[in-house]
Structure 1
Amino acid sequence: MKYHHVTATAQAIAKQYHNGIAGLAQAMHKGPTILANKLNPNCDTNQLTLEEAAEITDRTQDPAIADALAALVGRVTVALPCGQPSLRELSRTLCRLAAEFGDVGQEINAAEQPDSEWGEQLSPNERKRIAVEIRQMLSVGAGMLIQVEG
């Protein structure tokens, strides 16, 4: 199966659902054996449909299937800001985050200097911190984009 990773992702999500795949099957009004087969990346007889993948995503509110699909076309998904902040609130938040990210950028630049203890390697904690900062900026930026284009 060419898209085995997408099915495996759906299977992992289903296993985490209340009562696992059987619980999700009940919520989806499907037979547990059929759903288990559809979520088995090694099963060629039953295939997960796009509609079923969407329902799993909706019921679990887990973005992992969307993330796996986005990766197929070189994209990432981004969480939108919580609630419905105004454009002014989003602008202020983006400015604050940009300043914070600038501070992180200066730390990265300093860390990559030849005389730094880190040399060219960033610590796992620093990588996580950078990822959090970038995701926050992308989230607020996506919220602003929706409002500006809307």
Structure 2
Amino acid sequence: MTELTTAYERLRAMIGTSGPPTRGRVDRRDFVRFALAADDPDPIPEDVAPPIFVSSVQEWGTGRPMSALRADGTGSERTGWLPLDGFRLMGGGQDLDLHEPVFDGTELTISCTLEDVSLKQGRSGPFLVLFLVTTYRKPDGTTVVTCRETPIVRAA
């Protein structure tokens, strides 16, 4: 059994589980930084987050030191709970449902759930596809964004 197959079996047993929720507050300064990084010529005319800003939040605060990340630079609060040490993660795409605008000062809770995992064979070898659903909610429980994403997991 390869390390990837072992990881696949461990992840299969975790389907339906969620990592620990994280909480934080979004603010206009971060909206503007995000818009400027995306080369938006008119960054944030109002105190509303750019549509894809919310799903870009990996964790709150300044982030983790390099020593706390996986070798590939991943391992944020949002996905660090998945047993993927020793593997490389790559973005495989996102599907966003934007339920309502997010305004400056909004408190959000992020919750990420492993919905499924597939073991695939590619031209350069086997890989895993994770199916994650991350929800972003206000304190009253209202979901503002639902993000379905499919990170790809390869041997290091």
Q: Compare the two structures and name the one with the higher helix fraction.
A: 1
Q: Compare the two structures and name the one with the higher strand fraction.
A: 2
State TM-score, norm by structure 2. Answer: 0.21
State TM-score, norm by structure 1. Answer: 0.22
Greater relative contact order, per chain length (Cα 8 Å cut-off, separation 6+): 2
Rg larger in 1 or in 2?
Answer: 1
